Structure 1
C-alpha cells in the first residue's frame, strides 16, 4: 500500500482511483462556450431567445466529452447556420454561483465559460445566417455600450471584457464573474461603456472647401514605432484623438489649433502636421479636419482641467484607435488616409500589441 508522509505529520494513504475520481466528481463544474462576432462597424452580434428575457452571444453548454472549441463551432452552426472555426480564444471566465444568480433549484455548481473570437463578418457572411425554427427568435448587431441593457449583468461584463481583449491584442484573458484578473487600462477605465461617435459624416481627402466652416482640428499623432496617441476620458471611458475647436489666438491657422490643443490636452507637440482630409456635416457644412504628424516632447501634463479630470494618454495602433474612437463606413477611408500619411512621414507600421498607458508624470 502506497503512503505519503507530510512533514512532521502522520502517514496518509494514497487514494485509490475510485476514491480520487469520486473526490473530483464532487467538485465538477458546468462548462460553456460563446462566440464574439462583430460586423465591420464594430457592432456586436447578439441573439434574442425564446426561453429568457435577456439576449445572449452565440453559444451554449459544452456537451459531455466535447471540447469548448468544438462546442463553440457547433453552437454557431446550430444557431446561425454558419460554419466557422473557433480557434482563437479571447477569455476564460470563472462564474460563481453568486455571480450567476442561479435559482436554488438549479443547484448551480459554478461554470467555466470560454469566449472565442468569431471575427468580423461582412455583409456576405451575415447574409448566410439562417436561424433555427426554435430558441433563436432574432439577431441584431448592437453598439457595445448597449450590452449591459440587453444581456444579463454577468454576460455583459464577460462580452465587454472579451471585446476589450480582442481590441487590445493581449491574447486570452482570465476572468472571474466577467471581470479580468489583470485589468488593462481599457478595463480600468471601462472603455466602450459609452457609445462611440458614429462617423456618419462622409470622409474627403485633402483640404476643405473655403466656404466650409472649420469647427475642429484633430490629429493622428505618431510615436516612432507607428502607434498613435489616443486620449481616454477617465469619467466616461470615451476615446478621442488630440485636438479641438479653434480659438481667437489661432488666427485661422488650423495647424496651430492642432498644436495648441495637443499641448494643452496631452503635453505632446505635433511636428510639421500633414493635412489628411476632412469630415463634413452635410446639414451645417461644418467641417472637422484630420492631420497626421509625429509628436515629440511628451511631458508631465498640467493639473486637471477645470470641471473635469485630465484625459488618460495611451498609445495604440491606428487600427486599435479606429475601433476605440468611432465607427462607421467612413472610418475605413480615413484609416487608409492615415496610413498614406504615415508612409509620407516615413514612420513604420505598428506591430499588433497591447494598448500602452503613458505615465501621468515623466522624468
Structure 2
C-alpha cells in the first residue's frame, strides 16, 4: 500500500506506508500535560519535587494512547491524591528543542505541552491534598510574580501565559516556548510579572472617619456594558483603578480628587459618582476611599503628570480586575458593594469576556 501527500514531497509522489511512517516518526515530539490551580487569593499551586531543584505545576508526560486531558486528571490523582475532572484547556505550548535545557544524552526532540485549568480551590479542597510520598516533597501557593524565581524560566513563562489566558477569558491560547503567538494586551504589558498591589485592608461601608489621612481615592468606573476601567502601568504591568492621591487644590474633597486624577491619568470623565466606603490601612495609618461611577468618555491617552507614563487602558469585568490585585479576604465584601452600586447606576452585570484595550478616544 502507498500513501500520497508526504509532508516533504509533492502530492503526486507516492510513498510506501513504511517510509511514510518512518518519516512521521522522525518528526515525533514528546507530549506533556499540566494543571494550573489557584487558591481564592489568586496564588498558584506549585509542587516541590524530589528530582528537580525548581518547582512545577502538577502534571507530567502523557502515557501512550492517553489523551492530554485524561493524563492531567491521572497526574492530579497520582501526585496530589485528588480526583478531579479536567475539561477546560488554557494553553498548548510548542516547546522547541532549544526551548528547554536538557542533558544531551536525552536527545530532547521538542514537546507539545498542554496546560489545563484546575480551577480555584477553596480551603477544603486544599486540605484534602495528599502529596505522593517519594516524589512530591510538598506543595505551596505562590504569587504569580514569584514564578520566575521558583520555576525554570520556560515553565514560568508558560504558567504566566496560561494564567493570563484564564483571566482574559478568551479560550485556549497557542504558545511557542511559553510565549503566545497572538499576544493580548495582558501579555504585551506583562501583567502579573511584578508583585500585585496588596490591599489586605478591612472594607468599611460607612463615612470616612476624622483623623486618619486619606491616601487614595479610586473608582470602579463602569462602561455601559458592565465592565470597569483598569489602568496598566506600561513598565511593570501593575494594575490600578482610576483615581489617585489628594492634593491641596482638592480642598479635602475626595470626590474632587477622584475626578481630577481620572482626567489626568486616563482622560476619563465620570458621572453618577457613588460613595462605596473606605479601606483602613493600619500599616500607613491612612484610609483609601472607594467609589463607583459611570464612565462617560475617554479622551486620547494622556501622560500621567504624576508618573510621566502613559497607562494602557482596558475594560474588564470587576471579577477580572480583582485578579490583578491581591485584595485578600476583604475583597469579597468590596466586590459586593461594587455590584450594588452598579445596579443603582442601572448598568447590567457583565459576563466573562476578553478584556478590551481602549487606545482611541471613546464616548458612551
Helix, strand or coil for the counterpart of 1:341?
helix
Deviations 1:289-335 (A, max 9, x none): 00000011211133464753211111100000110133311111111
Match of 1:223 in 2: 223
Match of 2:90 in 1: 90
Within 1, Cα distance between the matches of 2:237 and 2:71?
A: 34
Match of 1:151 in 2: 151
For residues 327 and 11 of structure 1, do their structure 2 counterparts lie closer, same or farther at Cα, with a shift above 3 Å needed? closer
Match of 2:66 in 1: 66
For residues 76 and 254 of structure 1, do their structure 2 counterparts lie closer, same or farther at Cα, with a shift above 3 Å needed? same
Mean Cα deviation higher: 226-235 or 246-255? 246-255
Within 2, Cα distance between the matches of 1:309 and 1:26?
A: 51
Helix, strand or coil for the counterpart of 1:149?
helix
Match of 2:358 in 1: 358
Deviations 1:161-211 (A, max 9, x none): 000000000100000000000000000011001111222211111322223
Match of 2:280 in 1: 280
Deviations 1:124-146 (A, max 9, x none): 00000001111100110000000
Aligned-pair CA distance for 1:362: 6.2
Q: Contact conserved, 1:206 with 1:275, CA < 8 A, in 2? A: no
Q: Contact conserved, 1:267 with 1:298, CA < 8 A, in 2? A: yes
Aligned-pair CA distance for 1:223: 0.2
Match of 1:315 in 2: 315
Q: 2:254 aligned with 1:254, yes or no?
A: yes
Match of 1:182 in 2: 182
Q: Which runs of 4+ in 1 moved over 6 A?
A: 1-6
Helix, strand or coil for the counterpart of 1:194?
coil
Mean Cα deviation higher: 279-288 or 247-256? 279-288
Match of 1:34 in 2: 34
Match of 2:127 in 1: 127
Deviations 1:51-76 (A, max 9, x none): 11111000000011111001000001
Q: 2:208 aligned with 1:238, yes or no?
A: no
Aligned-pair CA distance for 1:10: 9.4
In structure 2, stretches of 5+ residues that fail to align are none
Q: Structure 2-normalised TM-score?
A: 0.95
For residues 26 and 272 of structure 1, do their structure 2 counterparts lie closer, same or farther at Cα, with a shift above 3 Å needed? same
Deviations 1:222-271 (A, max 9, x none): 00000000000000000000111111111111111101100111101111
Aligned-pair CA distance for 1:21: 1.4
For residues 282 and 2 of structure 1, do their structure 2 counterparts lie closer, same or farther at Cα, with a shift above 3 Å needed? closer
Within 1, Cα distance between the matches of 2:348 and 2:148?
A: 38
In structure 1, stretches of 5+ residues that fail to align are none
Within 1, Cα distance between the matches of 2:340 and 2:246?
A: 26
For residues 3 and 355 of structure 1, do their structure 2 counterparts lie closer, same or farther at Cα, with a shift above 3 Å needed? closer
Number of residue-to-residue matches in the alignment: 361
Helix, strand or coil for the counterpart of 1:195?
coil
Q: Contact conserved, 2:2 with 2:16, CA < 8 A, in 1? A: no
Q: Contact conserved, 1:199 with 1:329, CA < 8 A, in 2? A: no
Q: Contact conserved, 2:4 with 2:15, CA < 8 A, in 1? A: no
* RMSD across aligned positions (CA): 2.0
Q: Contact conserved, 2:297 with 2:362, CA < 8 A, in 1? A: no
Helix, strand or coil for the counterpart of 1:38?
strand
For residues 348 and 362 of structure 1, do their structure 2 counterparts lie closer, same or farther at Cα, with a shift above 3 Å needed? closer
Aligned-pair CA distance for 1:19: 2.1
